[in-house]
Amino acid sequence: MLFRSLILAVSRWRPIRSMVTRSRIFRPLVSRFVAGESLDSAIASAEALAAEGLFSTLDLLGENVATVEEAAQAREAYIEVVNRIAKSPHRDLINISIKLTALGLDQGEDVAEANFKQLLAAAQPHNIFVRADMEASEYTERTVAMIERVHAEYPNTGTVMQSYLKRLDGDLTRLLALPTRVRIVKGAYLEPETVAYQDKAVVDQKYVEAAQRLLKAGHYPAIATHDEAIIQSLRGFIKKEGIAKESFEWQMLYGIRRDLQSSLRAEGFNVRVYIPYGEQWYPYFTRRLAERPANLIFIAKATFRK
Relative to beta strand 130-133, strand 222-224 is unpaired
Distance of CA 292 to the CA centre of its chain: 16
Active-site entry in 59, 133, 171, 204: 133
The active-site residue, picked from 91, 183, 257, 258, is 183
Q: Give the DSSP letter string of 27-51.
A: HHHHHHHS--SSHHHHHHHHHHHHH
Q: Are 141 and 159 in contact (CB under 8 A)?
A: no
> Is-catalytic flag, 169?
no
Question: Who's near 37: CB < 8 A, 6+ residues apart?
Answer: 277, 278, 279, 281
Residue partners of 170: CB distance under 8 A and separation at least 6: none
CA atoms of 228 and 268, how far apart (whole Å): 17
Calculate the alpha carbon distances from 86 to 94, 120, 126 in Å: 9, 14, 6
Whether residue 133 lies in the annotated active site: yes
What does each C-alpha distance from 274 to 73, 78, 110, 150, 231 come to in angstroms? 22, 16, 28, 24, 17
Return d(Cα 265, Cα 25) in angstroms, integer: 33
Residues with a known catalytic role = 133, 183
